[in-house]
Structure 1
């Protein structure tokens, strides 16, 4: 009888096991990349790993409760709108009140005593959740009445992304914008919009890059000059290795030092003051330096497998909300991987986006864990629905 099947028996281990493996690898790399830095600052070498472990413990608790919920709870309009109001208030507070803390030129953190949070990280899952709910409910007329179905939600989401951009945190703003496009193109709208969005995106990107190059960033406000600097040096960081190209050049050195098999765990040279943000934005460079290219590619393969499984759950889902949630979460992780690796290898300009699981950051780990819990719950719900249908068919025979 399907009703007798416990939810724990429906766990998708093809997603859960990679999650646990990547979390464990991430904790090891966080300790390896932060302990030396903390010692050089005269601090406890275990400080950052303790914080990361605390967030992982909180993440596991959150995952347990989210997995136990019914998926219908996620589609409660009042609950979703309350969460939107809360995240909007946090974004306004971080930018316009004294609670906001500036780190690396962006006022994107809220400080509460010894605890800090980055609202832009939480906004990623909220945008996916909100659009999955709205677009899922409007499936019947989304293709025929695109403006009616999409225009108002886009105004709200656009306002929230604007609040992130003015921090300024253009890396997360770019990810959020791309997430919105992915959600829209996955929602059932006419395929012609794919060409429209794609064409406008390519033309806009080329136009911005050419304008920055030709004007040398002269029209860019002082607060956003770092954007021009990243565009100016990403193709050849060695022409300004001591200044704007410092991070990217040392990322290349770290990758080169690692070779195929690495220098050994804990033996990175570049993390010892040469490569800023070694424990966050450039953690994958340190991973290659210490573990080698082969081991790093294996880690990347595990992550790609998990992302593929998440998207597959979305593709196979019968319910629009479930499908859009999983596709959005898969896209969120995939975009973070592409933008982070693209930046540290010089394929695209640096954006300050962390690498999923490996980078130090409790907020990022918590949000990824919550997203995985959503997917595990949806996967179990879809399995249960399939079992119920099969049982009903057998009962009718």
Structure 2
């Protein structure tokens, strides 16, 4: 058992667990008043997220132990299941915040992120011998990717669709595709976006841009949420007002425990708290990239890149929204924001990434162990008069 434990990347194991645990604390702080106003108990959202955290932790441990290579064998049922769930959302799903994204108590679009990463990593790792052939090596997986994106856009959930699009781009780019083919794909993407623009542009979506880039022109409507976020960040200063002391969560910052939880972190824990959270997220992303570079096979490398991209992109979009850099799209902050489906998928993803890291570290340790064993054998031979003795100490 101890032999196996030393193969794990403990930094990568502990960081997401600490972030999720910190998220529970901040969710309770940010949601207690909101929960009471909704006639729930003050611990309602904390309890709900704690249950998801326990489920995610179980999934994390299982995936840490489950060999990542077996996901290639499970690819077809996984991707088919996600597509069926996304179709179920459109037919029977429930709407929250003007998006029909819930089905059977979960958000299938969150699970689609991980399923698509597994699918693209598996397919492109098998196509390495002819990855330079566009029609044979690059194009076929993009058809299924387009179907999944289309189903999510129809909900409509533009934020999640954007994340999935950029995740797919990161995996495809890392697969060894030619730059010429990459530019072709970008051209196709721009053309499709221009064709879809008349159908995607609505007054509500335009208002998000107004609220993001001209918030003080509409302080009581489109710009309200971002202005309250600015107030929270400004109040926090360097060290914050203290845990639980946020004023903006008292009805000013709408649903502060979800997409804008970092504004509450900034107000209560200040710039220092924000830097710590961003630093921990950066550790996960950087460790994932390093692992992808050291991975012994292309499937592991692309899988690590996809998971790292998912965490990094989601964090970037969320932080961009609360700071006014990007329009508000409803993307939660990884591990910290309230959201059961998001947390469950992230914890499972971290388990998969840790399993890849374990194989990488195990391979790195093997040469050192072999050298140490050879050294011990030479010492034994010298000590015993140059005779060859069988080392039975192991």
TM > 0.5 between the two? yes
Q: Could you tell me which of 282, 285, 298 is aligned with 1:307? A: 285
Task: Please list, as runs of the form range in 1=range in 2, the aligned pairs for 1:203-282 lying within 5 A after superposition.
Answer: 219=198, 224-282=202-260
Q: Identify the residue that residue 390 of structure 2 maps to in structure 1.
A: none
CA distance in 2, matches of 1:133, 1:278: 38
Q: Identify the residue that residue 328 of structure 1 maps to in structure 2.
A: 306
Shift of residue 237 of structure 1? 0.6
- Inter-CA distance 395–202: structure 2 relative to 1 (3 Å threshold): farther
Q: Identify the residue that residue 9 of structure 2 maps to in structure 1.
A: 12
Q: Identify the residue that residue 389 of structure 2 maps to in structure 1.
A: none
Of 381-390 and 309-318, more deviation after overlay is shown by 381-390
Q: Identify the residue that residue 215 of structure 1 maps to in structure 2.
A: none
Q: Identify the residue that residue 384 of structure 2 maps to in structure 1.
A: none
Q: Could you tell me which of 133, 153, 157 is aligned with 2:122? A: 133
Q: Deviations over 1:203-230 (max 9, x none)?
A: 998x89xx99xxxxxx5568x4321111
Q: Identify the residue that residue 59 of structure 1 maps to in structure 2.
A: 56
Q: Identify the residue that residue 18 of structure 2 maps to in structure 1.
A: 21
3-state SS in 2 of match to 1:322 = helix
Q: Could you tell me which of 76, 81, 101 is aligned with 1:108? A: 101
Q: Identify the residue that residue 38 of structure 1 maps to in structure 2.
A: 35
After superposition, the CA RMSD in angstroms is 2.5
3-state SS in 1 of match to 2:168 = helix
CA distance in 2, matches of 1:120, 1:134: 21
Mapped pair 1:342 → 2:314: no
3-state SS in 1 of match to 2:272 = helix
CA distance in 2, matches of 1:225, 1:147: 39
Conserved? CA contact 1:33–1:279, under 8 Å: yes
Q: Deviations over 1:55-86 (max 9, x none)?
A: 1111111122112222321221xx11001111
3-state SS in 2 of match to 1:108 = strand
Q: Could you tell me which of 249, 253, 272 is aligned with 1:294? A: 272
Conserved? CA contact 1:71–1:381, under 8 Å: no
Conserved? CA contact 2:19–2:277, under 8 Å: yes
Q: Identify the residue that residue 85 of structure 1 maps to in structure 2.
A: 80
Q: Normalised by the size of structure 1, how large is the TM-score?
A: 0.88
Shift of residue 7 of structure 1? 2.7
Q: Identify the residue that residue 177 of structure 1 maps to in structure 2.
A: 165
Q: Deviations over 1:301-323 (max 9, x none)?
A: 12112211111101111210110
- Inter-CA distance 344–203: structure 2 relative to 1 (3 Å threshold): farther
- Inter-CA distance 10–394: structure 2 relative to 1 (3 Å threshold): closer
Conserved? CA contact 1:185–1:193, under 8 Å: no
CA distance in 2, matches of 1:299, 1:220: 38
Q: Normalised by the size of structure 2, how large is the TM-score?
A: 0.89
CA distance in 1, matches of 2:361, 2:29: 40
CA distance in 2, matches of 1:302, 1:339: 16
Mapped pair 1:155 → 2:139: no
Q: How many residues align?
A: 375
Q: Which runs of 5+ in 2 are unaligned?
A: 376-394
- Inter-CA distance 220–252: structure 2 relative to 1 (3 Å threshold): farther
Q: Which runs of 5+ in 1 are unaligned?
A: 213-218
Q: Deviations over 1:214-261 (max 9, x none)?
A: xxxxx5568x43211112231121111111111111111111111111
